[in-house]
Amino acid sequence: MPGARDNHGGQAKGNATGTGESRALELELRDVQKRYAGRREAAISDLSLTVPAGEVCVLVGPSGSGKTTAMRLINRMIQPSGGDILLGGRSVLERDTTELRREIGYVIQQIGLFPHKSVRDNIATVPKLLGWSKERIEARVEEMLKLISLDAEDVADRYPNQLSGGQRQRIGVARALAADPPLLLMDEPFGAIDPINRTYLQDAFLTLQAKVRKTVVFVTHDIDEAIKLGDRIAILREGGVLAQYATPAELLDHPADQFVAEFVGADRALKRLGLTTLAEVELVKMNGHRPAGQIAVTTNVRDALSAVLAGGGEPLTVVDGDGEVLGLATLEAIGHLFKNGDPSSMPASGPASGKHA
Ligand code: ADP
Ligand code: MG
């Protein structure tokens, strides 16, 4: 089912921030190589991949597989040993690096906000460099804070050490987006955040991305985070070798090899269920008796399966948003998704229930 989740198109959508100025550009890595001086093995031996405008590409792979190297090559903090990188069809190698970096938002876990600057001044960093007027900057700061669901009056004049880790991370994203860059690089941005806040930040990221539709390269070593956030996932192995580049559903349905299969995990069938909602399940017709337990049709099938199992295997009544009964979710009905044991027969959820909804 190629492309089932690939539903955001290659188009950059405008007017995302309410100012009509959201931009996104396609990113292409073409035979990129990177050898660090004094090292025998290439950090990246030959990497090619294209991220369509407005899509989230998650780079995932074990430590040392070249993920950070790839990011730093894209914004030219380091130079490639070979190949080319094109942003919107234009080689980044020909660009003035300062100008280029203003076009690329960069969010990382280690380098946080400027500690001696207020939230307002942190977010205003690149707009100031670009010489925006005071009024425009002020309006943009307010807009960015709204975009990340923080109250300007409350936080704009605080300093980073007066914020929670999760808030700081969101301000980091706001700062990266302030000058409306067509590309956003995020290198393990939520790596140091506790699991609860991490889930919250992931959800906030998806909500934000639904609005701004940036081209995003997001690095993580967490396959669950990759599946949750990526329109496409690039799995790297040592030497920056691309093991597979596919949508989350394709990756779980058809891992290219043993390395990918192991990386996505033995529970890939369950993970796959997490990408499908009850709307895709052929529900059992009601036969008069209505089981007490009920569940929303928008629930993903993995959670629905868990709910059925928690109820001792009893069917659950599936209802829509208006409380209308649609049928019964049973273990058999869910099992039917794996026709002939082949999860690729399983539909992935469409845009209405997709990640950027
Ligand atoms: P990842 O982000 O996937 O963990 P990196 O891109 O940081 O991996 O590193 C890829 C490989 O390149 C590793 O073997 C690492 O040791 C090496 N490497 C990274 N940075 C440098 C550097 N500045 N000099 C030499 N080797 C480096
Ligand atoms: Mg890294």
Distance between CA 36 and CA 303 in Å, rounded? 45
> Quick one: which atom of ligand 1 is closest to the CA of 219?
2
Residue 165 banded pLDDT, cuts 50, 70, 90: confident
**Nearest ligand atom owner, CA of 191:** 2
Pocket of ligand 1, candidates 36, 59, 110, 242: which has the most ligand atoms within 8 Å of its Cβ, to mutate?
A: 36
What is the pLDDT, as a whole number, of residue 112? 76
**Does 8 score more than 90 pLDDT?**
no
Comparing 338 with 130, the larger pLDDT belongs to 130
What is the pLDDT, as a whole number, of residue 197? 84
Q: Is 64 in the pocket of ligand 1 (CB under 6 A)?
A: yes
Q: Is 67 in the pocket of ligand 1 (CB under 6 A)?
A: yes
Residue 351 banded pLDDT, cuts 50, 70, 90: very low
Beta strand ranges found along the chain (DSSP E): 27-34, 44-51, 56-60, 82-87, 90-91, 104-108, 183-187, 215-220, 232-237, 241-246, 294-296, 316-319, 325-329
Model confidence pLDDT, tens digit, residues 98-120 = 999 989 999 987 667 899 999 99
Average pLDDT of 189-209?
88
Long-range Cβ contact pairs of 289-296 (< 8 A, separation 24 or more): 290/317, 290/325, 291/315, 291/316, 291/317, 291/328, 293/317, 294/318, 294/319, 295/319, 295/329, 296/320, 296/321
What is the pLDDT, as a whole number, of residue 21? 56
**Does 121 score more than 70 pLDDT?**
yes
What is the pLDDT, as a whole number, of residue 341? 58
**Does 167 score more than 80 pLDDT?**
yes
What is the pLDDT, as a whole number, of residue 322? 95
Residue 37 banded pLDDT, cuts 50, 70, 90: very high
CA of 41 to the centre of ligand 1 (A): 10
CA of 31 to the centre of ligand 1 (A): 18
The radius of gyration of the chain's CA atoms, rounded to the nearest angstrom, is 22
Comparing 352 with 56, the larger pLDDT belongs to 56
Model confidence pLDDT, tens digit, residues 237-286 = 999 999 999 999 999 999 999 999 999 999 999 999 999 999 999 999 98
**Does 342 score more than 90 pLDDT?**
no
Which element (helix H / strand E) includes 226? helix 223-229
What is the pLDDT, as a whole number, of residue 18? 43
What is the pLDDT, as a whole number, of residue 328? 95
Collapsing DSSP to helix, strand or coil, 263 comes out as helix
**Does 183 score more than 50 pLDDT?**
yes
Closest-CA residue to 22 (of 105, 96, 135, 93):
105
What is the pLDDT, as a whole number, of residue 124? 96
Q: Is 66 in the pocket of ligand 1 (CB under 6 A)?
A: yes
**Does 88 score more than 90 pLDDT?**
yes
Q: Is 39 in the pocket of ligand 1 (CB under 6 A)?
A: yes
What is the pLDDT, as a whole number, of residue 340? 55
User: Which of 106-110, 177-181, 320-324 shows the lowest mean pLDDT across its residues?
Assistant: 106-110
Q: Name which residue sits closest to atom 23 of ligand 1, judged by CA.
A: 36
Q: How open is the CA angle 185-188-193, to the nearest 5 degrees?
A: 130
Residue 22 banded pLDDT, cuts 50, 70, 90: confident
Pocket of ligand 1, candidates 32, 34, 39: which has the most ligand atoms within 8 Å of its Cβ, to mutate?
A: 39
Residue 201 banded pLDDT, cuts 50, 70, 90: confident
Q: Name which residue sits closest to atom 24 of ligand 1, judged by CA.
A: 36
Residue 357 banded pLDDT, cuts 50, 70, 90: very low
**Does 185 score more than 90 pLDDT?**
yes
